[in-house]
Structure 1
Amino acid sequence: MTETRANYVNGEWVSSETGETIDVENPANPSEVVARYQQSSAADAAEAVDAAVDAQDDWATTPGPERGRILREAGTILQERKEELTDSLVAEEGKARPEAAGEVQRAIDIFHYFATKAADLGGTTKSPSGRRKNLYIRQEPVGVAALVTPWNYPIAIPVWKLAPALAAGNTVVLKPASQAPGVVLDVAEALDEAGLPDGVLNVVTGPGSTVGNEFIENEGTDAVSFTGSSHVGEMVYEQATDAGKRVQTELGGKNPTLVTDSADPAEAADIVATGAFGTTGQSCTGCSRAIVHEDVYDDFVAELVDRAESIDVGPGNDHEMGPQASESELEGTLDYIEIAKDEGATLAAGGGRPEGEAVEEGYYVEPTVFTDVESDMRIAQEEVFGPVVAVLKVSDFEEGLAVTNDVDYGLSASVVTDDHTEANRFVDEAEAGVVKVNEKTTGLELHVPFGGFKRSSSETWREQGDAGLDFYTIEKTVYDNY
Structure 2
Amino acid sequence: MLQTNVKEYRNYINSEWTAGANSETFESINPADTTDILGKFPASTAVEIEQAISSAQAAFKEWAATSPSKRAAILNKAADLLEERADEIGEELTREEGKIITAAKGEVKRSAQTLRYYAVEGLSFTGETFPNDDPNMDVYTEREPLGVVSVITPWNFPISIPARKIAPALMTGNTVVFKPSSDTPLTAYRFVEALDEAGIPKGVINFVTGKSSQVGDSLVTHPAIRAVTFTGSTGAGEDIHRKASLTTRTQMELGGKNPLIVMDDADLDHAAQLAVNGGFSLTGQACTGTSRVIVMKSMVEAFQEKLIEKTEALTIANGLKEGTKIGPLANQKQLDNVLNYINIGKEEGAELVYGGERLAGADYDNGYFVEPAIFTNVTPNMRIAQEEIFGPVIAIIAAEDYEEAIQIANDVEYGLAASIVTNDIKQAKRFTKDIEAGTVKVNRTTTGNLINAPFGGLKKSSTSTFRESGRVGMEFFTQIKTVYIGHS
TM beyond 0.5: yes
How big is each residue's C-alpha offset from its partner over 1:172-195, in whole Å with a ceiling of 9 and x where there is no partner? Answer: 001100000112111111111111
SS at match of 2:123: helix
- Contact 2:127 2:141 (8 Å CA) reproduced: yes
**Matching residue of 1:383:** 388
CA distance in 1, matches of 2:22, 2:223: 23
Q: Equivalences for 1:244-393 in 2 at 5 Å? A: 244-318=247-321, 319-393=324-398
- Contact 1:411 1:434 (8 Å CA) reproduced: yes
CA distance in 2, matches of 1:452, 1:260: 24
CA distance in 2, matches of 1:72, 1:212: 31
Mapped pair 1:204 → 2:215: no
- Could you tell which deviates more after superposition, 121-130 or 23-32? 121-130
**Amino acid across the alignment from 2:277:** T
- Contact 2:350 2:376 (8 Å CA) reproduced: yes
- Contact 1:68 1:117 (8 Å CA) reproduced: no
Q: Equivalences for 1:14-33 in 2 at 5 Å? A: 14-33=18-37
Scaled by the length of structure 2, what TM-score is found?
A: 0.97
- Could you tell which deviates more after superposition, 438-447 or 185-194? 185-194
- Is there any run of 5+ residues in structure 1 with no aligned partner, and where? none
Scaled by the length of structure 1, what TM-score is found?
A: 0.98
- Contact 1:122 1:140 (8 Å CA) reproduced: no
**Match for 2:235 among 227, 231, 238?**
231
CA distance in 2, matches of 1:193, 1:19: 27
- Contact 1:309 1:367 (8 Å CA) reproduced: no
Q: CA deviation at 1:106?
A: 1.3
How big is each residue's C-alpha offset from its partner over 1:76-106, in whole Å with a ceiling of 9 and x where there is no partner? Answer: 1111111111011101101111111121111
SS at match of 1:301: helix
**Matching residue of 1:195:** 199
CA distance in 1, matches of 2:298, 2:272: 15
- Could you tell which deviates more after superposition, 81-90 or 123-132? 123-132
**Match for 2:478 among 443, 468, 473?**
473
CA distance in 1, matches of 2:247, 2:480: 18
**Matching residue of 2:87:** 83
**Match for 1:133 among 115, 134, 137?**
137
CA distance in 2, matches of 1:134, 1:69: 32
Q: CA deviation at 1:215?
A: 1.1
**Matching residue of 1:406:** 411
How big is each residue's C-alpha offset from its partner over 1:232-276, in whole Å with a ceiling of 9 and x where there is no partner? Answer: 111111111x35311110000000000000101111000011000
CA distance in 2, matches of 1:197, 1:376: 53
CA distance in 1, matches of 2:440, 2:367: 35
CA distance in 2, matches of 1:479, 1:128: 10
**Match for 1:67 among 50, 66, 71?**
71
CA distance in 2, matches of 1:258, 1:355: 34
Identity %: 43
- Contact 1:308 1:368 (8 Å CA) reproduced: no
- Deviating above 6 A after TM superposition, structure 1's stretches of 4 or more consecutive aligned residues are none
CA distance in 1, matches of 2:221, 2:103: 35
**Amino acid across the alignment from 1:440:** T
**Matching residue of 1:428:** 433
**Amino acid across the alignment from 2:337:** G
- Could you tell which deviates more after superposition, 123-132 or 314-323? 123-132
- Contact 1:64 1:120 (8 Å CA) reproduced: no
CA distance in 2, matches of 1:468, 1:96: 28
- Is there any run of 5+ residues in structure 2 with no aligned partner, and where? none
- Contact 2:145 2:477 (8 Å CA) reproduced: yes
**Count of matched residue positions in the alignment of Structure 1 and Structure 2:** 481
CA distance in 2, matches of 1:18, 1:339: 42
Mapped pair 1:447 → 2:452: yes
- Contact 2:12 2:207 (8 Å CA) reproduced: yes
CA distance in 1, matches of 2:124, 2:214: 37
SS at match of 1:120: coil
- Contact 1:175 1:211 (8 Å CA) reproduced: no
CA distance in 2, matches of 1:190, 1:14: 17
SS at match of 1:122: coil
CA distance in 2, matches of 1:99, 1:433: 24
